[in-house]
Amino acid sequence: MAFITASWNPLGDAFYRKTDLYEMSWSLRDGLRDSLVAAAPYGGPIALLREPQRRSPSSRPQLEIYSASGGTIASFPWKSGPVVQLGWTVSDELLCIQEDGTVLIYDLFGSFKRHFSMGQEVVQSQVMEAKVFHSPYGTGIAIVTSSSRFTLATNIDDLKLRRLPEVPGLQGKPSCWVVLTQDRQTKVLLSNGPELFILDNTSCTVVCPPGLSPQDGNIVHMSVSFSYKYLALLTDSGHLWTGLSTLQEKLSDVDTKKTMAPKQMLWCRRPKSQQPSVVLMWDRLLLVVGVCNETIQYPIEDPCVLVGEMDGVRIISSSNQELLQEVPLVCQDIFKIASMAPGALLLEAHREYEKSSQKADEYLREIKEQSMLGEAVRQCVEAAGHEYDTNTQKSLMRAASFGKCFLTDFSPDQFVTTCRELRVLNAVRDSSVGLPLTHTQFKQLTLQVLIDRLVYRQFYPLAIEVCRYLKIPDYQGVSRVLKHWASCKVQQKDLTDDAIARAVCMKVGDSPGVSYSDIAAKAYECGRAELAIKLLDFEARSGEQVPLLLKMKRSQLALSKAVESGDTDLVYTVVSYLKNEMNRGDFFMTLRNQPVALSLYRQFCKLQEQETLKDLYNQDDDHQELANYYVTASYREKRLEGRLSLLQSAVDEYNKAKNEFAVKTTEDEMRLLRFQRKLDDEKGAGLLGLSLQVTMETLLSLGLHKQAEQLYKDFRVPDKRYWWLKLKSLAEKEEWDELEKFSKSKKSPIGYLAFVEVCIKCNNKYEAKKYVSKVTPEQKVKAHLAVG
Amino acid sequence: MMRLRRSHLICCAASKEKMAAHLSYGRVNLNILREAARKELREFLDKCAGSKAIVWDEYLTGPFGLIAQYSLLKEHEVEKMFTLKNGRLPPADVKNIIFFVRPRLELMDIIADNITSEDRHHSSRDFHILFVPRRSMLCEQRLKEQGVLASFINIDEYILDLIPYDGDLLSMEYESAFRECYLENDQTSLYHTAKGLMTLQALYGTIPQIYGKGECARLVANMMLRMKREFAGSQNQILPVFDTLLLLDRNVDLLTPLATQLTYEGLIDEIYGISNGYVKLPPEKFAQKKQGEGSKDLPTEPKKLQLNSAEELYAEIRDKNFNAVGAALSKKAKIISAAFEERHNAKTVGEIKQFVSQLPHMQAARSSLANHTSIAELIKDITTSEAFFDNLTVEQEFMTGVDTDKVNTYIEDCIAQKDPLIKILRLVCMQSVCNNGLKHKVMDYYKREILQTYGYEHMLTLNNLEKAGLLKPQTGSRNNYPTIRKTLKLWMEDANEQNPNDISYVYSGYSPLSIRLTQILARPGWRSIEEVLKMLPGPHFEERQQLPSGLHKKRQQGENRTTLVFFLGGVTYAEIAALRFLSQVEDSGMEYVIATTKLINGTTWIKSLMDRPESPTQ
């Protein structure tokens, strides 16, 4: 344990350390020499293209993809054009930028996804250099062509190419350049000899970093920090200038006394860095230059590649991988020799306790006297998070746990969370998984993304373990993993549809939030329609099945599923789809087998397509409805002839439907209409369209008694109703003599009380009295009362 | 001025409180549902940042009034409201235009017209659509065809299936439900019902027992059970509030809505029509009697009153038989004037203070009493008329099975007098139902009379009534209505209107069949009436829904069970009154909450089944 500091090197008032991450499990024949290498941050994958410039078609270069620990993920011969630059997107996709400006995108497993071009003009002028950069907007690409023009794409998923203005006096490529993201703008900083330019959308500006004089020489290398906040410039005289990337402020100016340009130069800092530094790499030397002017030198044996991380620099060689970082403050406090920090004392106390030594008590007492035990526990837990070695983690956590025992009211949250997170981190750091994430990176990346990355790398069991262990709600956790697993499973070409469907169903079961339709859609995308249908059968939500079934042209099945769901809107949707897809005959036949859909479609037609409605009834031999249809239609017809002919059609259909009553009344109606028309023509009576009763009423009020009488007889109007009608009509017109005559024409079918009452209503007591005597004995009282 | 405004605001706040109060008095706090609906509305409104104007599908304004007043909309920057109609939208200086519409194709065409007539150069307004109660692919497709779909920033749905109407009453306010189900074989309303019941269960717990009678009930239950499977996994961890759900098809009991309701609330609805909880009354009786103003002109605007249980007096008398309302009102009048007399007894400052603090409540009670006395007078004028009496006599004859197989002279006379067609249809249908169908000769006679008197165009309406089973020719089978009537005790000779001891008081003798079924289900159970159930249309069934362990209710001694009775196709106020009566019967051990697609009466119900062909000349 005492040796922890053995790998520490002081730099200013801080320390730097190198931690072994992996013995690389790859076996590279020629090491990293002559290869294009791209390694993604956050412990991402490594892509390697050997001898990219070799152009002979007989021996194509090999493109290889490895996990961060060197495990082979994919390997295939490169068949496209010469590649200038490789890079990774934020979602672990490989970008291969070719000389002609074409960018090819591959997934982690080397399957080609898509491609795009950096612009037509590039095809002519060729890409000289390219850089892949990350910003809040996603992954971007910047290129410079042999005609010294820069083109930028800030987000390759939403491709908008921007050709930057010309740089005055620039011939060929600049001596060095970087991409900066500032104030939501992406710019290029470049040097041409001693001059420094900022290139943005519209202009090219000469800039002078404060405190860097032209005497310091030409700028040959530059580097911007992970957060785009800091900038380092190296001149050919070996001067290293560091400052803010806004070029507003200088941090330091160090003379490295190296005049040879380094192969790579990167910032090495961490959040709340005490002593940020710049790492320069030559063939045999790694130089860490602190802003405090001090340096650390590490010899190098093999060619290496440096990968910048948010909290350090990873050094990958053909045989192993290390993490170079500033020792976090809390670790310094605890492990620094002779440290008296509470955490250090607690660790010591626990160590003594394990040896059953009473010194444990002394140490504890010392911390408690300063009331620093809580702080001590906190320090140990935090430090454990920063340690890579599991034994160190354990001893720190045990010490923390030991210290906790002497505290009351101490929230265990931090302890518990860190324990869990460390277990997860240790699992994913394992060489077989190869995600060497630090705790700081993990926090930045978030658990969700980590799970996504595990899923993407197809470590399904591990991802599920992680979800279960961290008790992530199924909906965001296990279900999501299973969904991805299933989508991947359906693509397995060596398995039969049945086997896959069974496997998927067994694993996924009823997991909430896993949509079988989504999985089925994936299967269909891969050309496995049969499998898709099998999978859809497991879908509980019938509504979800429909859109895919339609897409797969299983319209009949879609229709029955829609009907099953009870969602009429869905049924309508399928029906209107079918209507466009099928010929009319087939369409009607299909509907016929689905009564629910058929009646909905009828409703639709009633409102939107009257003509189709007729065809539908015709097809079903539904004469009754067809007749009703004609009746409705007749009312829309302005001309009497048209109306009559439609009513005749109705009569025909009612006849076929054996609805005698309807036949009779419809014929009556036609008769009435003709009669009304005739009278309208002769007398201008305005009768057309009135009911029989109202027609008679009108005729009576016009004094056309004979015609009214005729209707009464022709239409066999019941006596009672006719008598009422005539009684009221005569009384209203005060034709009292006529009324009396009428009352005597025969025995009244409505009795004579009605006569009394109607007369009274018309305020004629005198006439009323005439009828009292005729009222039946049982109604006589009422009659007398009415007359008064 | 400022002060006036503030007091106005306080008034608003107070009335808002009151508005919700009537929902929470009951056994089940339906306010939860209302609050959930309000929350969703607020969330949607906030999605459209900035000032807004709402364009309303007019049909929705009534139901929405039960959820949110204008004040809520105003708080969320709704500045203008328009009615949806063709042509250009009225000018409004707002950032957002939101269409609140039902998913209907004809409405989509109007919206499209609105949008295409919009002045594109001039306006930079954002358009949104809120579909109530559900989005529709068909409608969106139509908007797309009209080329306006892309004009909408937000297309959302506002799931408003069951609207809390009163403390024990939920309504979907879905007017055409019965027609759609029984005439058009369109189950849209049933789908919405099932969805609404799922929402209800999400808020009030899974209902462990489901009973049902009728085709539609069966379909709804099936959909609910399937939807439950679809949501498998997201277990509902709420202690169930409802013990039982009873789904009843309206066509199981076609008779009840045809009869004239005789409760106070039922009569208000029969005569004036209650719509979305409001009634409009003739103004004459409500003339303001203010001192000093003398006899000004009578108001001409109808008097609009809100009717719900928040009003103490109304809650007391709404479900009484109208013949018992007079006594209740005069008793109340005595209590109120006695309370006002108290002031003479108030001697000490403390007593006076006490009296004054009760004044607002007493004054509200007094004005409520005045209102209901006026309404009761209005109704009494009608119920004491000869016409009302004659009509009721015929109804009761039919219900007791007197001469239902012959042409009825009263109906004949009414036709001859050209009484309103709906009245005739109600009576004819009632006779048909009470006779299990009419003889061919009788039916044809009625139909001919109707067509000759009211016009041939009613052919389609008659056809609809036949399809719905309200009017049917007698088939070979025996008239089973007497058996049903006797077994279910549908007619009680000695109905006590003043102090009822049976639900038959709501129709002064006739006990609504639907409520008898509900009552028997609670005790002794449907097994005792298997024979009769078979005579009524549609299957009857029982389903159980598994509860997650730990959610089984431990019932306290004497604690009542709660049943949700869902009437598919509508329910009348009298039926509701009967259920409330059953809830109050001391040893029943059951409390009822009522849900329905729509509150109906015979008139609105028949009207929804009528078809009038449009003629081009009119």
Residues B421-435, buried b or exposed e (16+ Cβ, 10 A)? Answer: bbbbbbbbbbbbbbb
Q: How far apart are CA B427 and CA B602, in angstroms?
A: 10
What pLDDT was estimated at residue B160?
A: 87
Maximum C-alpha span of chain A: 143
Strands B96-101 and B169-171: unpaired
Cis (ω within 30 of 0) for the bond into A136? no
Supply the CATH classification number for the domain B387-479.
1.25.40.850
For residue A63, the cross-strand partners are: A49, A76
Domain ranges within chain B, ordered by starting residue: 48-159, 161-255+513-608, 264-282+303-384, 387-479
What pLDDT was estimated at residue A486?
A: 86
Closest CA to A626 of A599, A653, A589, A607: A653
Residue in A closest to B227 by C-alpha: A541
CA distance A570 to chain B (A): 7
Mean pLDDT of A476-491: 84
What pLDDT was estimated at residue A580?
A: 87
Q: Which residues of B touch A595 (CB under 8 A)?
A: 185
What pLDDT was estimated at residue B21?
A: 66
SS (H, E, C) B205-263: CCCCEEEEECHHHHHHHHHHHHHHHHCCCCCCCCCCCCCEEEEEEHHHCCHHHHCCCCE
| pLDDT tens, position by position, A640-668 | 999 999 999 999 999 999 999 999 999 99
What pLDDT was estimated at residue B141?
A: 87
Tell which of A643, A665, A698 to mutate to test the B interface (max B CBs under 10 Å): A665
Q: Which residues of A touch B155 (CB under 8 A)?
A: none
Do residues B570 and B599 make contact, with C-beta atoms less than 8 angstroms apart? yes
Q: Which two tokens stand for residue A144?
A: 């410079």
ipTM comes to: 0.88
What phi, psi does A551 have (nearest 5°)?
-60, -35
The label of the residue with tokens 């209800």 reads B200
Fold assignment, B264-282+303-384: Syntaxin Binding Protein 1; Chain A, domain 2 (3.90.830)
Q: Which tops the pLDDT comparison, A713 or B346?
A: A713
Please list the ranges in chain B whose pLDDT falls under 70. 1-21, 24-26, 119-123, 231-236, 287-299, 549, 553-558, 614-618
- Name the DSSP class of A13: T
- Name the DSSP class of A168: T
What pLDDT was estimated at residue A54?
A: 57
Q: How far apart are CA A394 and CA A400, in angstroms?
A: 10
User: Can you state the percent helix, strand and coil of chain A, rounding each to 5?
Assistant: 45, 20, 35
CA distance B195 to chain A (A): 10
Q: Which residues of B touch A690 (CB under 8 A)?
A: 455
Q: List all residues of chain B from 114 to 143 with a beta carbon under 8 Å from chain A.
A: 134-138, 141
pLDDT at A80 over 70: yes
What pLDDT was estimated at residue B431?
A: 96
Between vectors from CA B487 to CA B481 and to CA B492, what angle results, nearest 5°? Answer: 90
- What one-character-per-residue DSSP string does A493-514 give? TTS-HHHHHHHHHHHHTT-TT-
Q: List all residues of chain B from 148 to 187 with a beta carbon under 8 Å from chain A.
A: 184-187
- Hey, is the C-beta of B197 within 8 angstroms of any chain A C-beta? no
B240: left (phi over 0), alpha (psi -120 to 50) or beta: beta
- Hey, is the C-beta of B617 within 8 angstroms of any chain A C-beta? yes
Which runs of E-coded beta strand occur in B552-618?
Answer: 561-568, 590-596
What's the number of CA atoms in the CB half-sphere (13 Å) around residue A407? 20
Supply the CATH classification number for the domain B161-255+513-608.
3.40.50.1910
What pLDDT was estimated at residue B299?
A: 63
Do residues B490 and B513 make contact, with C-beta atoms less than 8 angstroms apart? yes
Residues A694-723, buried b or exposed e (16+ Cβ, 10 A)? Answer: bbbbbbbebebeebbeebbeebebbebbbb
- Hey, is the C-beta of A693 within 8 angstroms of any chain B C-beta? yes
Do residues A772 and A780 make contact, with C-beta atoms less than 8 angstroms apart? yes
The label of the residue with tokens 């296990």 reads A478
Closest CA to B311 of B273, B357, B265, B377: B265
| pLDDT tens, position by position, B403-461 | 999 999 999 999 999 999 999 999 999 999 999 999 999 999 999 999 999 999 999 99
pLDDT, averaged across chain A: 89
Do residues A222 and A233 make contact, with C-beta atoms less than 8 angstroms apart? yes
Do residues B161 and B199 make contact, with C-beta atoms less than 8 angstroms apart? yes
User: Which residues, other chains included, contact A266 with Cβ-Cβ below 8 Å and sequence gap of 6+?
Assistant: A223, A278, A279, A306, A308, A313
- Hey, is the C-beta of A513 within 8 angstroms of any chain B C-beta? yes
**For the sheet containing B274-275, what is the strand order?**
B274-275, B278-281, B303-306
Between vectors from CA A331 to CA A328 and to CA A332, what angle results, nearest 5°? Answer: 85
What pLDDT was estimated at residue B347?
A: 80
Other CB atoms within 10 A of residue B445 CB: 16
User: Which residues, other chains included, contact A302 with Cβ-Cβ below 8 Å and sequence gap of 6+?
Assistant: A31, A32, A317, A318, A319
The type of residue at B242 is: F
Mark out the alpha helices in A329-458 (DSSP H runs): 329-335, 342-354, 359-369, 373-386, 390-404, 413-429, 439-445, 447-456
Distance of CA B423 to the CA centre of its chain: 21
Strands B126-131 and B96-101: parallel
Q: How far apart are CA B278 and CA B311, in angstroms?
A: 13
Do residues A322 and A315 make contact, with C-beta atoms less than 8 angstroms apart? yes
- Name the DSSP class of A136: T
3-state DSSP assignment of residue A309: strand
| pLDDT tens, position by position, A139-168 | 999 999 998 999 999 899 888 899 999 998
The type of residue at B228 is: K
Supply the pTM of this predicted model: 0.74
Domain ranges within chain A, ordered by starting residue: 331-551, 718-787
- Name the DSSP class of B309: T
Q: Which two tokens stand for residue A125?
A: 């002028």
3-state DSSP assignment of residue A126: coil
The gap between the terminal CA atoms of chain A, to the nearest Å, is: 126
Burial class (CB in 10 A: 0-12, 13-18, 19+), A475: middle
What pLDDT was estimated at residue B287?
A: 67
CATH of range B48-159; options 1.20.1090.10, 3.40.50.2060, 3.40.50.1000, 3.40.228.10: 3.40.50.2060
Integer CA distances (angstroms), A71 to A38, A48, A51, A435, in order: 15, 13, 21, 11
Give the total residue count for chain B.
Answer: 618
The type of residue at B143 is: L
Q: Which helix (H) or strand (E) holds A266?
A: strand A264-268
- Hey, is the C-beta of B616 within 8 angstroms of any chain A C-beta? yes
- Hey, is the C-beta of A123 within 8 angstroms of any chain B C-beta? no
Examine domains B161-255+513-608 and B264-282+303-384 and report if their fold is the same.
no
User: Which residues, other chains included, contact A29 with Cβ-Cβ below 8 Å and sequence gap of 6+?
Assistant: none
3-state DSSP assignment of residue A361: helix
Q: Which helix (H) or strand (E) holds A281?
A: strand A277-281
Q: Which residues of A touch B455 (CB under 8 A)?
A: 690-691, 694
What's the number of CA atoms in the CB half-sphere (13 Å) around residue A320? 11
3-state DSSP assignment of residue B406: coil
